[in-house]
Structure 1
Amino acid sequence: MKFIFLFCFLLLQAFIFNITQDPILEESIKRGSDIYSDFCVTCHLPNGEGVDGEYPPLAKSDFLMKNRVQSIMTIKYGAEGEIIVNGKTFNNTMAPLGLADDEIADVMNYITNSWGNENDKMITEEEVSKIKK
């Protein structure tokens, strides 16, 4: 009987945590959308598809979803050199955007939850602040 009670209690806690987490993530995604429109849309386009051979896609991006830390580092510090995204090679430069850690978290939450990407682990300002060059 105690086991069933404990199980139900833990299940309820997990449910409550997920409910309270969603509005926080939704607000982050909303802010990230605005940041994307200001800083990213020129190269990666409104639909996140990028420019073939020039700027990698963010839509349904295997690189973005499998390389969380490197993706954050790219936004935070910029990047140069070759990467492979969805089987295609891109070799270009991305300058650092000058965003604060909270803004990087927000734009990462937006792009990792848009255009066919699904991220079940929210990116936080604290996580971004711990990532060093």
Structure 2
Amino acid sequence: MKILIPIYLIAVVFSSVFLFQDSELKESMKRGREIYTDFCVTCHLQKGEGVAYTFPPLARSDYLMNEKRESIKAIKYGLQGEITVNGITYNSAMADLGLEDEEVADVMNYISNSWGNTSDSIVTEKEVASIQK
């Protein structure tokens, strides 16, 4: 019996952490969706499909998922120059949208968990703040 109590307490603590993170992620994604609609949908379109050879897709995007730090940097500071997404080279400019670090994190959480993308971790404001030009 004495061994069951610590096991139970450990299970409760770990469950709480995962439930809290899930709730935190859902709230961040909700905010991120609003920001995406206000700033990103014009180029990347409603379902993140982008415009072939002009604006890269965010849906099922290998670049977004494999280059997390660079993706955050692009949202935070804009992007200019060539990138390759899903085997297609894009060379257009993305303006600095003037988003706060929390907004960048929210958008990243939204796009990293939408349209066939799945992320194992939540992007935090602190993580975004650590990324410099």
Class of the TM-score when normalised by the shorter of the 2 chains: over 0.9
1:68 aligns with 2:68: yes
Gaps of 5+ in 1: none
Between the aligned residues of both structures, percent identity stands at 54
- Per the TM alignment, residue 11 of structure 1 is displaced from its structure 2 partner at its CA by 3.6
Indicate the residue corresponding to 1:29 in structure 2: 29
Q: State whether structure 2 residue 48 is matched by structure 1 residue 45.
A: no
Residue of structure 1 equivalent to 2:93:
93
The structure whose residues are more often strand, as a share, is 1
Deviates more, 1:37-46 or 1:19-28: 19-28
- SS of the residue corresponding to residue 74 of structure 1 reads helix
Q: TM-score, normalised by structure 1?
A: 0.93
Q: Which sections of structure 2, spanning at least 5 residues, go unmatched?
A: none
Deviation, 1:41, is 0.1
Q: What is the aligned partner in structure 1 of residue 123 from structure 2?
A: 123
Task: Give me the CA root mean square deviation.
Answer: 1.6
* Gap change, CA 1:99 and 1:11, over 3 Å in 2: same
Distance 1:87 1:2 in 2: 57
In structure 2, C-alpha distance between the alignment counterparts of 1:63 and 1:7, rounded to whole Å: 41
Letter paired with 1:37 = T
SS at match of 1:94: coil
Gap change, CA 1:6 and 1:78, over 3 Å in 2: same
Measure how far apart 1:15 and its partner are: 1.5
What amino acid is the match of 1:67?
E
* Rounded Cα–Cα distance in structure 2 between residues aligned with 1:97 and 1:64: 18
Structure 1 position 3, deviation (Å):
7.5
In structure 2, how many angstroms separate the alpha carbons of the residues matched to 1:63 and 1:86?
Answer: 7
